[in-house]
Chain A
Amino acid sequence: AQTVTQSQPEMSVQEAETVTLSCTYDTSESDYYLFWYKQPPSRQMILVIRQEAYKQQNATENRFSVNFQKAAKSFSLKISDSQLGDAAMYFCAYRTGPLYNFNKFYFGSGTKLNVKP
């Protein structure tokens, strides 16, 4: 089974600065999808950004961008110009490729991001 590892249980960043959250994964597949989800204290899971493994270009969504290193099986999230509202738990997730009959998602254990004013 695929595994997703987030080695940083908790991180802190000053408001307006940049922070990078790390994620590595283990897979034998060549086609798959990667995601970052944000979970605020309300516990709702919110999609932040996604990356298709077949795309070499790193995904970006406003202040959020990823550094996808397929050979190294690394998928880090960079948050620029951090805002107080970015404070949350962030989960990295891996989704199996389209050849399977069910798109199973595998989640890391999460990184708690604190934003200091």
Chain B
Amino acid sequence: NAGVTQTPKFQVLKTGQSMTLQCAQDMNHEYMSWYRQDPGMGLRLIHYSVGAGITDQGEVPNGYNVSRSTTEDFPLRLLSAAPSQTSVYFCASSYVGGSSGNTIYFGEGSWLTVV
């Protein structure tokens, strides 16, 4: 029962480097999203997808790219890492309907430090 799987769990980057955070879900959910969590703040939406081939920006999209080529995968790319992107990143999936619909399922988080 994997749910939402994120990799890597921890990563240290140098300023200017690029990297991709991987996210996969095995629940056949239409909706997937990426959030970042900074100290003292709630989760903020970076990008989201309503299905394969469809993505859109959330609240804090600058510096990040996403794509959704399959229902299962939703990678988040940092184009040129900056110290302001040091954060904990959560991938999530959800769907509407059913007894457990309208609920969002989170991965375990990816801790990213940019030095």
Give the interface of A toward B (CB within 8 A): 1, 4, 6, 9, 33, 35, 42-45, 47, 50, 52, 91, 93, 95, 98, 101-110
Contact = CB atoms under 8 A, between A and B. Distances in A.
21 contacts: A33-B102, A35-B103, A35-B104, A43-B111, A44-B106, A45-B106, A47-B103, A95-B104, A101-B50, A102-B31, A102-B48, A103-B31, A103-B96, A104-B45, A104-B58, A105-B33, A105-B104, A107-B35, A107-B44, A108-B42, A110-B42
A109 B40 CA distance: 6
Given A4-B42, A107-B42, A43 B88 contact: yes
Contacts of B44: 107
Name which of A1, A4, A47 has the most chain B CB atoms within 10 A of its CB: A47
Contacts of A44: 106, 108-109
Interface of B: 31, 33, 35, 37, 40-45, 48, 50, 56, 58-59, 88, 90, 92, 94, 96, 102-104, 106, 108-109, 111
Contacts of B31: 102-103
Given A44-B106, A52-B102, A102 B42 contact: no
Given A91-B42, A102-B56, A109-B42, A43 B109 contact: yes
Contacts of B94: 103
A75 B3 CA distance: 28
